[in-house]
Amino acid sequence: MDFIILQFGLCTFKFDNKKKRLTAQPYNFQIFPRPYSHQAPDRRFMCQSSSIDFLVSQGFDFNKVFYEDNTCLSIQTNAEVAQGRSCKLLNISGNARIIDMGPNKGPIAIPDDQKDFINGIVDSISCFMDKNDEQSLDLPSCNGFQRKLIYQTVRAKFTSVHLEAKKGEKKERYICVTKVSGEEELKMREGAKQAAERAEIDDAVGFSKVIRKLSQSGKIIVGHNMLLDVLHTIDQFHFPLPDEYEDFKSMVKCIFPKLVDTKLMAQNHPFKDLIHCSVLNDLHRILSHKPFQLPEVDFPESFKQYSADSKYHEAGYDAFITGLCFATMKNFLGSFQKPQKDFVSPTSPLIEPFMNKLFMMRNFEVPYMNLNGPDLQANRDHVFYLIMPKDWKSNDVSNLFTDYGNVQVFWIDDMSALVSLYKKDNWKNAYNGLSGKNTNYEIRTYQSFVTGKKDNENKNHPQRKRHIEEVEEDIPKKK
């Protein structure tokens, strides 16, 4: 994916049955995929100016992201880096003199422009070996090819030295030469170096370990309008997303087997008639009044900063508020029980209707993704496949359908789009009125588009990304 997570909010909740209170521990993680070594991926990602502007307006501290960040190698990247490092360790280990001398392998020829440099290195090491009071020597910084030549040449000429690549204060790379008493000490140093490098890779996994623990815990994970959060979390900390929709659903269910979306809860029975706006801060405000009852929450001393301050759009605080909203709504479900229950467990069957259903924005016909099975099958009679001149815009499509109400346009390419009527009952009038009416365009039913009953001669139109657009019917008709 082109975008990445820079800040991750997480809040754990624990219910104290004696006190009948919750204990919350919100965390705010700064995430930045810093390349921990020259072998680690150098991640490139996009920024959206409107998003940056919004975060600045909310007081987002970008310095914290880049200076106080957590690394985050994904599972796949971690495996690839570890495999690459293992191959490298094999080639440069103390036994490389034996391993590299296969029948098809030989030393790299030293280029003429590198001979003076390598000879100077050999002379420096020779002088170093003659000095009994010095145990190590830092060679001048050099590039990767020069280091490879140094490894090859020095190991061929000196049998009682250990070589290790290091990084300076300004991230310059150089080789440290250390005297060893014999083969045993050489193997011991190589083993220690390999262990340190494995620990470095493990440390570079960073915040991804937290996500893996969440996955392994089997706990319910609550989010608000969380589909995009799930997408980015899996892609950045686990594996690249699959191409197929059903494969993606299976992957999500495997990694996070218990998900609850508070926005989906708020827009379904029995909450939808009581909650007129499901934006997170409005949802929290509504749940703060009757007939709802916010639970009492305690914070450990180090988490007091989130107990009173309103810090919406800081990830840790949003996570806390999301969990608080979930606790309030699940307890509200207990009011329908006989006898009534003030506390409803997150594992209660009352939560099941909302489990593993992720809210889908602006999808009025299939409002959620069902991770537990097939999605809802919507009636698409009011959706048409429109083939049109290349110079048509959304306003032109709107003008075409003006007599039948507002439309939502889903662009496929420059010459075709799916058009959805808001007034669904008008679909027959629209189809009969527009079919065969003009040679500038062609209108088909959605079913015809899906099943391919007509020739798709425009299949190879040049692709261009277009936004979903809603068009109002007060736009003047096209002349």
d(CA 316, CA 169): 33
Say if residues 193 and 187 touch (Cβ distance below 8 Å). no
Q: Kindly state whether residue 339 falls inside one of the protein's structural domains.
A: yes
Read out DSSP for 456-468? -TTTTPPP-----
Predicted confidence at residue 105, as pLDDT, reads 54
Q: Kindly state whether residue 375 falls inside one of the protein's structural domains.
A: no
Residue range(s) defining the domain that contains residue 442 = 383-471
Q: What percent of the chain has pLDDT over 70?
A: 83
Return the closest-CA partner of residue 328 out of 242, 462, 224, 465. 224
- CATH number of the domain residue 267 falls in: 3.30.420.10
Say if residues 77 and 34 touch (Cβ distance below 8 Å). no
Q: Kindly state whether residue 59 falls inside one of the protein's structural domains.
A: yes
Say whether both 152 and 227 belong to one domain.
Answer: no
Say whether both 283 and 358 belong to one domain.
Answer: yes
Q: Kindly state whether residue 2 falls inside one of the protein's structural domains.
A: no
Residue ending a domain, choose from 318, 349, 370? 370
Please tell me the least confidently modeled range out of 35-39, 62-66, 99-103, 263-267. Answer: 99-103
| Three-state DSSP class for residue 169 | coil
pTM listed for this prediction: 0.68
Say whether both 408 and 299 belong to one domain.
Answer: no
Residue ending a domain, choose from 170, 205, 240? 205
Q: Rounded to whole angstroms, what are the CA distances from 408 to 118, 395, 426, 431, 473?
A: 69, 11, 14, 16, 11
* Residues contacting residue 405 through CB under 8 Å, at least 6 positions apart: 421, 422, 423, 426, 473
Say whether both 303 and 192 belong to one domain.
Answer: no
Say whether both 331 and 214 belong to one domain.
Answer: yes
For β-strands 469-471 and 259-261, DSSP reports them as: unpaired
Residue 38 exposed, middle or buried by CB count within 10 Å (0-12, 13-18, 19+): exposed
Predicted confidence at residue 87, as pLDDT, reads 53
Say if residues 207 and 8 touch (Cβ distance below 8 Å). yes
Q: Convert the pLDDT of each residue in 200-222 to its tens digit.
A: 777 777 788 889 999 999 899 99
Predicted confidence at residue 474, as pLDDT, reads 40
Q: Convert the pLDDT of each residue in 377-423 to its tens digit.
A: 888 899 999 999 999 999 999 999 999 999 999 999 999 999 999 99
Say whether both 169 and 265 belong to one domain.
Answer: no
Confidence of residue 106 (pLDDT cuts 50, 70, 90): low
Q: Convert the pLDDT of each residue in 307-335 to its tens digit.
A: 656 677 788 999 999 999 999 999 999 99
**Cis (ω within 30 of 0) for the bond into 339?**
yes
| Three-state DSSP class for residue 177 | strand
Predicted confidence at residue 228, as pLDDT, reads 94
Q: Kindly state whether residue 404 falls inside one of the protein's structural domains.
A: yes
* Residues contacting residue 289 through CB under 8 Å, at least 6 positions apart: none
Q: Kindly state whether residue 12 falls inside one of the protein's structural domains.
A: yes
Which carries the bigger pLDDT value, residue 472 or residue 418? 418
Confidence of residue 37 (pLDDT cuts 50, 70, 90): low
Predicted confidence at residue 96, as pLDDT, reads 40
- 306: Cα within 13 Å, side-chain hemisphere: 28
pLDDT at residue 39 tops 70: no
d(CA 262, CA 271): 11
- CATH number of the domain residue 165 falls in: 3.30.1370.50
Q: Kindly state whether residue 1 falls inside one of the protein's structural domains.
A: no
Please tell me the least confidently modeled range out of 49-58, 74-83, 230-239. Answer: 74-83
Considering its fold, how many domains does the chain have in total? 3
Q: Kindly state whether residue 332 falls inside one of the protein's structural domains.
A: yes
Say whether both 176 and 108 belong to one domain.
Answer: yes
Residue holding tokens 């082109």?
Answer: 2
